[in-house]
Chains A and B, each alone.
Chain A
Amino acid sequence: EILLTQSPATLSLSPGERVTLSCRASQSIDSYLAWYQHKPGQAPRLLIYDTSNRATGIPARFSGSGSGTDFTLTISSLEPEDFAIYYCQQRNYWPYTFAQGTKLEI
């Protein structure tokens, strides 16, 4: 099973700041990586698929990059609604696995 590690576990930031979240895989997953945003009590939301493609309706301030084992999600300028938990998921090997998440807090 592929292990995904996100860092850091928690980030304290302010609106308007730029943030980069990291996701590392225990072995190469090519570009089969997705990112999700999750707010308490809500359904998780797909942000990025195939490493760098924004899902429908996702603002341009969200971008993804990477390949192989190292991936990043960047939010260029944090909006108040962006404070949430972010998860990466690998989709190259079954079962698809998730990292523990990074919590963005104000």
Chain B
Amino acid sequence: QVQLQESGPGLVKPSQTLSLTCTVSGDSITSNFFYWSWLRQPAGKALELIGHVYTSGSTNYNSSFKGRVTIFLDASRNQFSLRLSSVTAADTARYYCARDGSALYGMDVWGQGTTVIVSS
């Protein structure tokens, strides 16, 4: 059974970099043709896809994050990570990692999410 678990600081200061890691168990992040995704959901708002990294390491990002985002694989630890720079209070949200298939498929495995608050 594939499981994903987010980890990282729950509090980040404005202008700093938010760093989260998703640990994958039950599947190898480099051996199957999946996209490993990061999403977030601010309170009372819709889920928002931040971006994803493919098993090859190639990435796609949501342009609304204006170059602030990096997602990368750590194959040795079977993890993938999110870095979001220059955070503001608007980046306060619950952050999720998920496994994603082809466009015709969907995000079939999710982590439970982790709340990140941006505040001084």
Contact = CB atoms under 8 A, between A and B. Distances in A.
Contacts of A48: 106
How many chain A residues sit at the interface, stated as a range, is 20 to 34
B87 interface: no
A28 to B, nearest CB: 15
A46 B107 contact: yes
Nearest to B5: A43
A71 interface: no
Contacts of A92: 103
Interface in B55-74: 60, 62-64
Contacts, number: 66
Interface in B77-110: 96, 98, 101, 103-110
A45 B49 CA distance: 16
B105 A94 contact: no
Contact of B113 (A1, A32, A43): A43
Contacts of A36: 106-107
Contact of A98 (B47, B63, B108, B111): B47
